[in-house]
Chain A
Amino acid sequence: MARIVAGVGCSHVPAIGVAMDTKITDQPYWQPVFKGFEFSRKWMAEEKPDVVFLVYNDHCTAFDASVIPTFALGCAATFTPADEGWGPRPVPVVHNHQKMASHIAQSLVLDEFDITIMNEMEVDHGLTVPLSVMYGDKTPEDDWGVQVIPLAVNVVQYPAPTGNRCYNLGKAIRKAVESYPEDLKVMIFGTGGMSHQLQYKRAGLINPEFDTMFLDKLTSDPVGLSKMPHVDYLREAGSEGVEMVMWHVMRGALDDEVVEVHRHYHVPASNTAVGHIILENKDYHDSRGKVAAE
């Protein structure tokens, strides 16, 4: 059967993609951002998942204001990087594991998560930046080297789904993956955040204490963390910090017990606090006898 072995939490700041695409990652401003992904790229190269289930949000790119699905699952064969107003990112087309995506869609609906099915969808920086930071530089002619099942979550129009709903959706995704007969190694990414506010007079808000608490509780108290009301994100982590609810989908899909093998936190990337964490299911971690970093 297929199984989820690990989860990745990761910011998806568009400027990080621009920095990679324009090859300025060795500038002093960007060096510390990318330093924190060196471990992650090695880890990905060693782990080689067959499929990444990637939870992200569209930033008014593939979805305009006419249709706003709370959860939209990508079931197309491929997803093309979108023009977000400054030209499409020069990165590979994203290939789905289409059969598994359809299986998950069916399983979720029967499990009473009434998701939207996307048979045509372009993807924006919310999806491609996490792939870029985890897999490194790629050209449009390359392959990402992994199949990706995208789940787009509405976090633009209030209210985003609750943290609790996201956490429980993660559990249902895990159940769906584990009922897929093929022997596949799956990872789940929760992306977005961390603290940031892009708009109006309070723009630039950054809250390292909040972000650190959030990263800590992913391991120590994920259920408690998932109960946090939206107003706390909006007030404490900025109006766009509410993206962090998507990390709960990732956490819910993992075992109750996880091992944090890597963490990275840096301010700033453009307007945003960059946060990144790698959590391995404890049983999987122990079975490999790998020593946790720090």
Chain B
Amino acid sequence: MQKDYEDIPGTFVFDADRSREGYHLNQFCISLRLQKNREAFNADEEAYLDGFPMTPEQRDAVLKRDWNRLLELGGNIYYTSKLAANDGINFQNLAGLMTGMGVEAYREMMLAGGRSPEGNRYKSEWEDK
């Protein structure tokens, strides 16, 4: 299927290809929405992760909390945000980390009206930066 959204910069579109790749990673993440699972994970992360047949790269990104890498490996933000919530990181602070801006600078940008679409619609606009 042709992907007319591939030229949008700084964005993953969680389509079927990404969903297939990220399935076990995302299923791990959603398991953390239950308190008993959060407790088991926090008690022994490695042992808990053994229950999910994800790739070594995905597992490594989970352990390192490499938020962008998780997305690159098929994670979806609504799933990875469950891992972030477990760590006490809310959506806004997570975005601060993923953009590389840091939490404070990101919050300031949002208070000033957010990221403009100008210059942020096409990958070609980012290549010149």
Contact = CB atoms under 8 A, between A and B. Distances in A.
Interface string B42-85: 00000000000000000000000000100100001111011001
Given A204-B115, A268-B114, A157 B82 contact: no
Nearest to B88: A86
A204 B33 contact: no
Interface stretch (A58-66, A136-144, A164-172): A58-66
B19 A65 contact: yes
A49 B77 CA distance: 35
Interface size class of A (residues with CB under 8 A): 35 or more
Contact of A85 (B11, B22, B33): B33
Contact of A83 (B9, B33, B106): B33
Contacts of B30: 60-61, 64-65
Most A CB atoms within 10 A — which of B4, B10, B27, B76? B10
Contacts, number: 157
Contacts of A157: 14-16, 19, 76
B77 A199 contact: yes
B33 A235 contact: no
A204 B110 CA distance: 7
A118 B34 CA distance: 21
B96 to A, nearest CB: 8
A63 to B, nearest CB: 9
Most A CB atoms within 10 A — which of B14, B16, B113, B115? B115
Interface of A: 14-15, 18, 29, 59-61, 64-66, 82-87, 156-159, 195, 197-208, 210, 229-231, 234-236, 239-240, 267-268, 270-271, 273
Given A203-B106, A234-B5, 9 more contacts: A65-B23, A84-B85, A87-B35, A199-B12, A202-B11, A205-B120, A206-B115, A207-B117, A268-B114
